[in-house]
Amino acid sequence: MNASGFLRILQGSNKNPRNHNSQRDPHEDSPDPLDDTRIHPEDYDLARKMAMDALELDEEDIHNEHPSHVVTLLMNDKDKRRKLLELNLDEFAISLYEANHDQKRFTLQVIREELTNPFVEARARFILPGDREILTMLTGETVKTLEIGLIVSALVYRIQRDLVIVRLDSGLEAQITRDLLPDPTRNPFDVVKKGQTITTIIHKVTLDMAADICTIELSAKPEHMADGDNDFRWIKHNDDYWDENRENRDRDMLDRKKRAETQGSRRVIKHPNFHNFNTAQAETYLEKQQRGDVVIRPSSKGNNHLAVTWKVDDKLYQHIGKDGHSCPVVANSNFLGRCHRTQQHRPYGADYRRDTPR
């Protein structure tokens, strides 16, 4: 249901003035400029008070005048916008609340806007949607998802002698003519089957919503899809504030880390304390072990390095890096292929006589 929020009374001359010699107020039948606004009649006194404050007038200055005469003066003032903006509506609203517990802050804002420009249209201008906008509202398809040259998947919905009707993911129907099938010489019934999902490329789009026309033609020829659609899907990076050098350094660091993890995971060393763990995995493993236990693991520095993780105490670990070429090979099954002097790194109270070369 449509209804008008306020009855607008346009101001004009009073053609039938009453006899002012009667006991009635001579201003009672005079036109009120506030009737030509969206201000509620219950708030007329607030509007008049705001107009007086904006013009810096007192009640003595408008004695024997129409109650809204000051409003007329303000509306005819060329500098009314600045004067109204200088009013402190927050303090005015607080004073009204302290006096009568009236919450009028929003009402005061509306009054200021109406006194500045009565019945102004605050809504943006309505623009009729185009064919693409209507299609997006009905199907969800946009310019980016329904662009000529974009590769899409389609579900075969109906097969005719010279035409194949398919459905896109949005539910929109499209068609593939016989000459755009992978093998135009064969019968379409032998090329595709109903319910089959095929890969196609958008060949032509015809939109005319006024005439209720929406035709999408697809192509299933492999040569039409050979070049792909990276130009449509690729997101171009045009950020002037992006640090390209930092990005390259981070990428190199990640590549080195991945290579080190891959190379480290391929190492096979026959030793009871050797595990293909990283730092976090070694600590997790030793969490349930006794104090003084050790894990020998690959190092992120490469195949020529090893790392040792000691469990000194609960939630206390020590990580030691060792070079694989630091000392000669020892023929003992209790050690790795190369010996490492670790006396200076032994945790307190730990006995490693069996594992430490003499």
pLDDT at 231: 76
- Taken in order 141, 144, 150, 152, the sign of the CA dihedral is negative
70: tokens are 């000051």
Residues 6+ apart with CB under 8 A from 74: 51, 54, 55, 80, 83, 84, 115
| Terminal Cα distance for the chain, rounded | 98
Q: Where in the chain is the domain with CATH 3.30.505.10?
A: 247-345
Separation of alpha carbons 53 and 72, rounded Å: 14
Instruction: Give pLDDT tens digits for 341-356.
Output: 444 444 444 444 344 4
Architecture (CATH level 2) of domain 131-233: Beta Barrel (2.40)
Separation of alpha carbons 39 and 53, rounded Å: 18
Separation of alpha carbons 266 and 269, rounded Å: 10
Other beta carbons within 10 angstroms of residue 156's beta carbon come to 19
DSSP string, 46-90: HHHHHHHHHHT--GGGGTTS-TTHHHHHHHT-TTHHHHHHTS-HH
Q: Are 156 and 164 in contact, with CB atoms under 8 Å apart?
A: yes
Separation of alpha carbons 224 and 268, rounded Å: 50
Low-confidence ranges of the chain (pLDDT < 50): 13-15, 17-24, 326-358
Q: Where in the chain is the domain with CATH 2.40.50.140?
A: 131-233
**Helix 105-116 to helix 89-100 angle, to the nearest 10 degrees?**
130
pLDDT at 15: 47
Separation of alpha carbons 232 and 152, rounded Å: 12
Domain 33-116 fold? Arc Repressor Mutant, subunit A (1.10.10)
Q: Where in the chain is the domain with CATH 1.10.10.2740?
A: 33-116
pLDDT at 145: 87
Question: What predicted TM-score, i.e. pTM, was given to this entire model?
Answer: 0.43
Domain 247-345 fold? SHC Adaptor Protein (3.30.505)
